[in-house]
Structure 1
Amino acid sequence: MPDPATTRKRRGGRRRAAALTAAAALVVALAPGCAPQPTPSANAAGAGRQIDVRTPQGLRAQQTLDMLNSDWPIGPVGVGTLATQRLAKQVETTMEKLWWDRPFTLHGVDITAGAATLQLTTSYGARQDIRIHTADDTLVDGFEVTTQSPTISSWRDVDAVLGKTGARYSWQVAKVDDGQCDRVAGTNTDESLPLASIFKLYVLYAVADAVKAGTVSWDDQLSVTEQGKAVGSGMDLAVGDHISVRTAAEKMIATSDNMATDLLIGKLGPQAIDDALANAGHHDPAAMTPFPTMYELFSVAWGQPDVREQWKNGTPQTRAQMLHDADSHVYKPDPFRAHVPASEYGAEWFGSAEDICRVHVALQAGAVGKAAPVKQILAASPNVNLDTQDWPYIGAKAGGLPGDLTFSWYAIDRTGQPWVVSFQLNWARDHGPSVGSWMLQVAKQVFALITPPQR
C-alpha cells in the first residue's frame, strides 16, 4: 500500500503498491479510447476570468489549463505540442500527477515577458501556482509548480481547510495521560473511516505480542512468495529469498511495504490479528473480520473479475469465502479500476480516530522487554518535519489507497508529554500525490498549536 506521507505516496507515502502502479500506467495508456468527452474549457472553471492568448506565454498558459481540466489523460502527444523536446518528459510527468486533482479553478494569471503564472485552486481546495516560461519558438522551456500552505492558527482553521477538500474526514489531537487518550481537539473522532496503511499498526501489535510470548523471534526468517511480490515491495528480492521478522516489520512501517505485511500476517495467522484488534482497543473488531491480507484485498478491490458488489453485500461468511477464493487465484489487476476507490464497497480496513489513538498507545505501552524494538521501528520514518528539540520522539504510520489518505503520529514533546495526532480523508475519487504533501503542511501547523513554549 502506498504511503502518502512520502507523497504517495501517495499518496502515499503516500508509494502506491507496485501492482496498482502498473495498473495505473495502463489506465493512462488505454483511457483515451474509452474516456468520456472532455470537460468544458478551463475558463468555465475560472468564474469568468479569461487568459489573454495574444502572447505565446498567454497561449501556453491557456493550453496548460485546458489540458489539466480535460477528461483526456495527459500524454506525450499533447505535451509535445506544449513543451520543448528537452523539457517534454519532465512536463508530462508533472502534469500527469496534477491531472488527478482536476478541475482547477482559475483565479488569475500574471503575464510577464516570456512567462506566465497561473493562479489556481485544486479540486481539494489547495492554492497552486504554475509558472511557465516560453522559448523563442513559443514552446514551454520552464515549468514550475508551487503549492501554497494553508494557514492553520486555530482548531477552527483545521475544519475550515478540511471542509473544503470534498472529503469525508476525521481528525484528532489527543493528549495521552495514564495510558488514556484525552481529546484536545478534533472532528468526527468516533466515525469509522478507511485506515489505509494505518491498519499495519495492528499487524505490528500482533508481532510484538508474539515476540513477547516467545512464539516468534525477531530473527525468524520469512520466505518471499509469488503472492507477496504481487502486491508490491520496495525490496529487491526473488521468490524463495528470506528476510527476518525484524526487517519485515521495519519495512512494513517505514516504507509501508505490502509484501512484508503479508509475510508477517502469514507468519502470525489470522487469529493473531483478530486478537490484536481487540487487545489494542478497536471499537468493533467484528467489523474488521474476516481480516484480509493485502493480496486478498487487492484481489477484491482492484482485481479481475470485479467482485466489489458481491463483497459489499456479502455476509461475513460470504466474505471469508471470497478471501479464500482470492488466495487460490492469481491476482490480475484491472487497469480500468486502478484509480477507482473501493472503500465505498467496504473493501478497506476501517477504524476511527479514537481507534488510531488507542492502538498507538497500546504499541508504546507494550514495547518492553523483547518487544522494545517496536519504539524504534515506529520512529524510523516520522514523515513530518518537526524540530527534534521540541519533539524528541515521533512514531508514525500513514497510508494511501485510491480515494483514501491517512496520517497518524505518536509524538512526545520536550516536556515528556505524549500526544497522538491523526487525519483520515475519504473521497469518492482518487487524487494525485500533491494532496499528501499539502496535508503534511496542515499537520505541521497542527503540531505547532501544541508545541510547548520555550522555557
Structure 2
Amino acid sequence: MKKWILLLSLAALQGSPAYAQTPAKTEATPAKPMDMRIEQLPSVLAGTLPYDMFFAPSFLAAVPVAQLKLVSDQFIAEHGKPLKIISVEPQGQNSATVKIEYEKAIATAQISVEPAAPHKVVGLLITGFDVKGDSPAKIDAAFAALPGKAGYLVEKIGADGRRTQIAGRATGQQFAIASTFKLYVLAELASQVQAGRRSWSDVVPILANSHSSSATVNWPRNTPVTLQTLATWMISASDNASTDALMRVLGRDAVERKLATIGHSDPDKALPMLNTVEAFALKSNADLRTRFQKANEAEQRNILDKEATSLSFEKVDLVNLGSGPVAIDSIEWFASPSDIANLLGNIRQTGSQTALDVMAVNKGVAPASANKWQYLGYKGGSEPGVISMSFLAQSKAGNWYVITGSWNDTTKEVQNEAFAALMARLLDSVAS
C-alpha cells in the first residue's frame, strides 16, 4: 500500500455530467451540498469532524474508520496539519478536483458526493502532494537522514545518448535492489526480440510457481502465455512466477551476459543472478544459506545446480524468514544507482516500444506526479529492509531522464511509503 493514495468508491467519480463553474455565493445563497462537503474536507482530514458525519455508510463499509484515521495521521505526520481548500475544479454536479493546503505541502484530491440528501461523500482520492518550497538540497538532506544506507541518481539523457548527472548520492555504492533486477530480464528479452531470436507473441508455459506472484497465483502449471504477457506481469505486478518463466526461456546465462554487456560496477556482487524461488529458498534454509554465503561464485553456481531440489518452490518455508531483514547483504540482487542508470539507458537504446509500454503500465507514483511527464516507465522492488524505485521518464518538453534510488537497512524494515514520497519529490524536481 502507498499511503499517498486514499481510494474509495471510484464509481462515483465517473460518468457525471459536466456543468459550468458555480457562481460565487452571497449571504442570501445557501451553500450547495458539494460546496459544504468540500469546506468540511480539511476538518475531516485533521480528525476534528467525525467520519460518520462526512462519509456515506457505503464508503465506511469499504474503508473502515481505523484505516481512515491511520492514513490521515500518516499525512499529518509527513505534511503537517491540513489548513484550507485553496482551489476547486468542478468535474460534474457531484464531483470535483480540489487542492488542500497542509502546513508543509499542497495535496490534490478528487471528491464525490451523493446526489441525494444527506449528500455525504461516497468517493475520495488523494492523488499526491507537492511539498512547499522543495529543493534538491532538501531532498538530498532527506536521503542523508534515512537510517541504514541510501543512494539516488538523477541524470538527463542527451540527444546523443550521453547522460549528465543532475543530482545524486552514493551513486557508485552497491545496494540490494530486490525486484528492480527484473529490468535486466526485460532488457535481455527486448534484445532477443530485436535480434529476431524471439517474438513478443511467442507462447511459452509457466512451469513453476513462486511466492509473491499476484498475477499468476494458483494458476496451473503449463499454462501457456505470451512472452509479452509474462513481461507485463513481471514489470507491472512484479509477478515472480512470470519472472522465473522468462529467465528459464531466455537462459540465466543470457541475462547475465546482458548485465555484463550493459556494464556493472561489481559483477562479483551481482552474480550468479538468482531466480526468485532460489532467493526465497536460500533465505529460508539456514544451512544452505550459510554455505552459499561462504562460497565463491563458482561454488555458488555448483550449489544452485546440485541443490536444485532443495531450492524448489515446495521446499520454501516462509516461517523461517521471520518478520525482518534476512541476508539482504548477501542473498539478493545488487546494483548501484549508476548501474541502474546504465540499465535504463540500455532499454531505451534498444528502441523497443513494447518494452517501454510494458514499463509504463505501473507508473510507481501517484497520478499527480505521473501526469507531469509525457512518458513515465517504472520498476521497483522491496522486501524487509530493502526498497528500490527506478524511473525512465520523458518530460513534456521532450527531454529524457533517469531517476533511481535505493534504501537498505539490515537491522529493521524500511518505510516504503516514506521512500515512495521521497522518490516522487525527486521526480517532481526535474519534471518540466
Normalising to structure 2: TM-score of the pair?
A: 0.67
Tell me, yes or no, if structure 1 residue 337 matches structure 2 residue 321: yes
Match of 1:157 in 2: 138
Pair 1:360 & 2:344 matched? yes
Distance in 2 (CA, whole Å) between partners of 1:96 and 1:316 is: 46
Question: What is the aligned-residue RMSD (CA, Å)?
Answer: 3.8
- Equivalence for 1:249: 231
* SS of structure 1 residue aligned to 2:209: helix
Structure 2 alignment gaps of length 5 or more? 4-59, 78-125
Answer yes or no: is the 8 Å Cα contact 2:280–2:316 preserved in 1. no
Shift of the 331–194 alpha-carbon distance from structure 1 to 2, 3 Å rule, reads same
1:382 pairs with one of 353, 363, 366: 363
Contact 1:280–1:359, Cα closer than 8 Å, also in 2: yes
Report if the CA contact (8 A) 1:295-1:331 is conserved. no
- The secondary structure found in structure 2 opposite 1:166 is coil
- Whether the aligned pair in 1 keeps the contact of 2:363 and 2:370 (CA below 8 Å) is no
Verify: 1:410 aligned to 2:392, yes or no.
Answer: yes
Bigger Rg over Cα: 2
| Displacement after TM superposition at 1:279 (Å) | 2.0
Residue identity over aligned pairs, in percent, reads 23
Who is 1:298 aligned against? 280
Q: Is the 8 A contact 2:326 2:384 kept in 1?
A: yes
1:443, distance to aligned residue in structure 2 (A): 2.2
| Alignment check: 8 A CA contact 2:381 2:389 kept | yes
Per-residue deviation at 1:425?
0.2
- Among 221, 241, 244, the residue aligned to 1:262: 244
Aligned partner letter, 2:172: D
For residue 295 of structure 2, what is the amino acid of its counterpart? Answer: G
CA distance in 1, matches of 2:377, 2:341: 12
2:149 partner amino acid:
R
1:314 maps to what in 2?
A: 295
Provide the rounded CA distance (Å) in 2 between the counterparts of 1:93 and 1:347: 34
Equivalent in the alignment of 1:441: 421
Aligned-partner SS, 1:7:
coil
> What pairs up with 1:178-257 in 2 under 5 angstroms?
178-225=160-207, 227-230=208-211, 232-236=213-217, 237-257=219-239
SS of match in other structure, 2:191 = helix
Decide whether the 8 Å contact of 1:152 with 1:442 is kept in 2. Answer: no
The answer to whether structure 1 residue 349 and structure 2 residue 349 are counterparts is no
Q: Partner amino acid for 1:319?
A: Q
Residue 340 of structure 1 contacts residue 403 of structure 1 at CA under 8 Å; is this kept in 2?
Answer: yes
Q: Which amino acid aligns with 1:7?
A: K
For 1:7, the equivalent position in structure 2 comes to 2
TM-superposed CA distance for 1:224, in Å, is 2.1
Amino acid at match of 1:381: N
User: Residue by residue, what CA displacement relative to the aligned partner does 1:43-94 show, whole Å, maximum 9, x if unpaired?
Assistant: xxxxxxxxxxxxxxxxxxxxxxxxxxxxxxxxxxxxxxxxxxx99x958889
Q: 1:269 to 1:156 in 2, by over 3 A?
A: same
* SS of equivalent to 1:169: strand
User: Aligned partners of 2:307, 2:69: CA distance in 1, in Å?
Assistant: 36
Offset of residue 240 of structure 1: 2.0
> Residue type matched to 1:451 in 2?
A
Change (3 A) 1:350 1:397: same
* Aligned pairs, number: 329
Unaligned runs of 5+ in 1: 1-5, 9-85, 106-145
Q: Which has the higher strand share?
A: 2
Check conservation: 2:152, 2:169, Cα contact below 8 A.
yes
Q: Which residue of 2 aligns with 1:168?
A: 149
Decide whether the 8 Å contact of 1:151 with 1:157 is kept in 2.
no
Q: In the aligned structure 2, how far is the partner of 1:272 from the partner of 1:203?
A: 9
The 1:173/1:355 distance shift into structure 2, 3 A limit, reads: same
Residue 442 of structure 1 aligns to which amino acid in structure 2?
A: L
Residue 231 of structure 1, CA deviation: 5.4
